[in-house]
Amino acid sequence: MKEIKDKLLIEKYSDSISSYVHLDNVSLQMFEFEKGELMIQPSFHFHSIYFLVKGSVNVYSIQADGRQFVTGVKKEIPILGDIEFVTKKKPHLFVEALENVVVLSIDTLRYEKELNEDVLFLHSVIHSCVDIIQSAQHEQNFMSLEEKVIAYMKYQCDDHILRRIEKTSEILHCSRRQLQRVLHELVEKDILTKLSKGVYCFKK
């Protein structure tokens, strides 16, 4: 990642994001990422909003067996960091530059108040989050039950611990028996640890 301090270039690109955020009360920085570079990754706090103004990115997670699970290529809604801005939590997904990428960045710690008062920006975030949810639902249709259980425990369960089998089976749209079979298989594969009856922990 390198910062671009060309004010004329920043001004040029800022026109392309004016329909997503009011720029009167915030200042922008511009960054360039090389192809293959990780722009966002789990376990590291992310305190920016990135507006993708050039290039495209890959959004994915890493499954327990080391496989990459692609959740989508983000092009139409050029906002990154929206979920982290809303939840105040560390990212759950990797974002990688598919080519040389240029973003305009807003520091969310410095401009949190201004962004929260910007109705245009909040509407943009809502639309972006809806797109993410719809994309995730579409991708989930092609996931095995094992993959769904792993994703659910990694991203939805507190401390990566599954405690309620009946409720989980309802959420994942499977029978209790199917869920128990998958949980047993994941324990045998050394991906989960059984803590007690009906309680399973995802191994970090």
85, 163: one domain: no
179, 151: one domain: yes
57, 15: one domain: yes
181, 80: one domain: no
Residue 203: what pLDDT?
81
Residue 170: what pLDDT?
85
135, 184: one domain: no
Q: Which CATH number covers residue 58?
A: 2.60.120.10
What whole-number distance in Å separates Cα of residue 83 and Cα of residue 49? 10
158, 171: one domain: yes
21, 70: one domain: yes
Say what the pTM is.
0.69
Domain stops at, among 111, 140, 169: 140
Domain stops at, among 107, 124, 140: 140
Q: Which CATH number covers residue 152?
A: 1.10.10
- Per run of 10 residues, the mean pLDDT along the chain (length 204 residues) is 95 93 94 95 92 88 61 64 91 88 97 97 89 62 79 79 89 89 94 93 81
Residue 34: what pLDDT?
96
190, 119: one domain: no
136, 149: one domain: no
85, 171: one domain: no
Q: In the chain, how many domains are there?
A: 2
CB 72 within 8 A of CB 140: no
What residues make up the domain containing 81? 2-140
Beta carbons within 10 angstroms of residue 83's beta carbon: 17
CB 81 within 8 A of CB 40: yes
Q: Where are the alpha helices (DSSP H) in the chain?
A: 7-14, 82-87, 112-116, 119-140, 145-155, 165-171, 176-188
106, 69: one domain: yes
Hey, CA dihedral for 15, 21, 24, 27, is it positive or negative?
Answer: negative
58, 114: one domain: yes
Residue 84: what pLDDT?
93
